[in-house]
Amino acid sequence: MSAAPVETGDAAAPHVELRRVTKRYGPVTAISDLSLTVDKGSFTALLGPSGCGKSTLLRMIAGLEAITAGQCFIDGVDVSDMPPAQRRIAMVFQSYALYPHMTVRQNIAFSLSVAGQPKKVQNERALEVARILQLEPFLDRRPAELSGGQRQRVAIGRALVRKPEAFLFDEPLSNLDAKLRVQMRFELAKLHADLGTTMVYVTHDQTEAMTLADKIVVLDKGVISQVGSPLELYNAPANKFVAAFIGSPSMNFFGVDIAAISGRTATVVLPGGRTVEIGVTTGAGARSAELGVRPEHLTVVDPRDPAAAFAGKVAIIEHLGSSTILYVETPVGQLVVEGEGDLAAKSGETIGLRLNQNHARLFGVTGATL
């Protein structure tokens, strides 16, 4: 299911475009007839679980993987047959791939040295980049002597010095510990804000995509599931895959029966008997569906409250300080509920859950949102 890019208004040609690309490894087809565009100056994330093809797409843009069929355009030029070095792009690898036998300065200036630039120019440009990334004190050190965050910055510096049309990032934060990851996320966002260069970012971490990107392409097994801004994907997921993948803790799902559909409202029968009204856009004729509701759209109420959709028993409580996560055993299975930080609840307690029907969605048999 290849969705057309959901862009509002922008009529300019895309900066990077993959047009109907297919990737085959011998008898295995990993990606088939996929098209996606990246706008100039945007931060576009390719998001999906392992094996969804996001890295393959990135590498096809880079020229590290051959495109079996289809084309790749960068700034309007067909680069499908061009070697990587001529595509005017730069890549930051997951493992950074810093040359261990060279100093930071030499690492950063490597592409210039390969091109035969005089030493003076190499040193100047390396210094310039080092200043931007606060790497000046480390210019004469070897990668082995640097911390993870510093190494990452050197990797970015190596890409930066080439003044590319676009940056490609292949899961650059996966090798960092949690705290460092948050810090580097901020630095990457700042870098993008400062430079304004197009960035294409591959990750499996939806938090990274949500916080950094202005456009996210969600991929599922080689196929585009949905394209949109973070909030669009969060609030209006086109299918169950996107709904489940985005958001943490993830959306709750359970099966429901549809009593009736009139116009843009479906009357849904919850297990337990209560009915709710959920907005839909399609789905005439559907008798049953899956209902998805995010943890923060479930509220804890007294079990005897008439507005409660279900009652359930609290199994586990997680106190995060700013919020509280409850794992509640209900007739429809385990539901995850997110509430205020000072939520009073006890393990084993029976509570009622109220459903915010404005934020619940129905998903049909194919997974598409109704």
Q: Which residues bind another protein (CB under 8 A)?
A: 62-66, 83-85, 89-91, 93-95, 97, 99-101, 110-111, 114-115, 158, 162
Q: Which is nearer to another protein, 2 or 175 (CB)?
A: 175
Helix (H) or strand (E) holding 184: helix 178-195
Instruction: Decide whether 43 or 96 has the Cβ nearer to another protein.
Output: 96
- Other C-beta atoms closer than 10 Å to the C-beta of 120 total 8
Q: Which is nearer to another protein, 102 or 269 (CB)?
A: 102
C-alpha dihedral sign at 81, 86, 89, 91: positive
- DSSP track, 263-307: TTEEEEEPTTS-EEEEE-SS-TT--EEEEEE-GGGEEEE-TT-TT
Closest CA to 72 of 168, 149, 173: 168
Nearer of residues 100 and 285 to another protein, judged by Cβ: 100
Specify the residue, 91 or 227, whose C-beta has the smaller distance to another protein. Answer: 91
Is the Cβ–Cβ distance between 247 and 235 less than 8 Å?
Answer: no
Give the largest CA-CA distance in the chain: 79
Output 67 or 268, the one with its CB closest to another protein.
67
The least distance separating another protein from the CB of residue 143, rounded to whole angstroms, comes to: 11
Look at residue 46 and give its three-state secondary structure.
Answer: strand
In angstroms, what is the minimal distance from the CB of 45 to another protein? Answer: 20
Question: Measured from the CB of residue 4, what is the shortest distance to another protein in angstroms?
Answer: 28
Q: How far is the CB of 86 from another protein (least distance, A)?
A: 8
Least separation in angstroms between CB 102 and another protein: 8
With beta carbons less than 8 A apart as the criterion, state whether 253 and 240 touch.
Answer: yes
Give least dist CB 173 to another protein, A: 16
Look at the alpha carbons of 298, 302, 303, 304 in this order and tell me if their dihedral is positive or negative: negative
Strand partners, 101: none
Cα(357)–Cα(299) distance, rounded to whole angstroms?
11
Measured between alpha carbons, how far is 245 from 216 in angstroms, rounded to an integer?
12
Minimal distance, residue 136 CB to another protein, in Å = 22
Identify which of residues 124 and 305 has a Cβ nearer to another protein in the complex. Answer: 124
